[in-house]
């Protein structure tokens, strides 16, 4: 699930850094958020709802069942705003701050950094909630997608992944 999480962050950072039409569309969206004019917000929400729900599920997968809905949504907001920084800053300012040219390698490094930073925050949040009087146990999915070719899960869980997860504390077995 962490690999799917990283892939999602990488995709968001790439979109926000895109100098072409995709990036232009995302920048228009940001302008619409700060200065609403004509965009039909209901249509916009329907367009982005699948991405929103997918990111929420990735965060839930990483955080585990002890995460509250508020925890998950706060994590989502934090992650999105880390990625949106690339929209707000001029690429030359990013290059100045990081002392590197803006290219695929830098975008990859930043996506990795945002992933590590976000995962550390999620883990810290979960560790802080470990002291509440609630026992949390986990079941690991035996395979994702459950029916290859019939569903899109956004990633895969195979036998090696299951084998790596089963020995973790509080994992009871397969779902």
C-alpha to C-alpha distance for 89 and 86, rounded to whole angstroms: 5
Provide the whole-model pTM: 0.59
CA-nearest of 7, 113, 8 to 55 is 8
Could you count the other beta carbons within 10 Å of the beta carbon of residue 111? 21
Average pLDDT, the chain: 76
pLDDT in tens, 77-116: 888 888 777 777 778 888 888 898 888 888 888 888 888 8
Whole-number pLDDT of residue 8: 84
C-alpha to C-alpha distance for 15 and 168, rounded to whole angstroms: 35
pLDDT in tens, 13-66: 887 777 777 777 777 766 666 666 655 667 767 777 888 888 888 888 888 877
User: What are the Cα distances from residue 165, in Å, to 97, 101, 128, 156, 169?
Assistant: 38, 38, 22, 14, 9
């Amino acid at each position: 699930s962490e690999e799917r999480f990283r892939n999602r962050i990488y995709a968001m950072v790439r979109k926000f850094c895109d100098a072409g039409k995709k990036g232009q569309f995302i920048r228009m969206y940001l302008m619409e958020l700060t200065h609403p004019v004509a965009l039909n917000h209901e249509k916009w929400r329907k367009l982005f709802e699948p991405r929103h729900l997918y990111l929420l599920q990735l965060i839930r997968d990483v955080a585990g069942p002890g995460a509250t809905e508020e925890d998950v949504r706060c994590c989502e907001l934090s992650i999105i705003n880390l990625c949106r920084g690339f929209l707000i800053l001029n690429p030359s300012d990013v290059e100045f701050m990081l002392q590197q040219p803006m290219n695929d390698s830098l975008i990859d490094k930043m996506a990795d950094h945002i992933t590590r930073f976000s995962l550390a925050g999620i883990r810290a949040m979960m560790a802080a909630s470990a002291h509440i009087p609630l026992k949390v146990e986990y079941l690991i999915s035996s395979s994702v997608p459950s029916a290859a070719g019939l569903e899109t899960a956004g990633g895969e869980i195979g036998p090696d992944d299951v084998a790596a997860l089963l020995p973790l504390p509080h994992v009871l077995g397969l779902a």
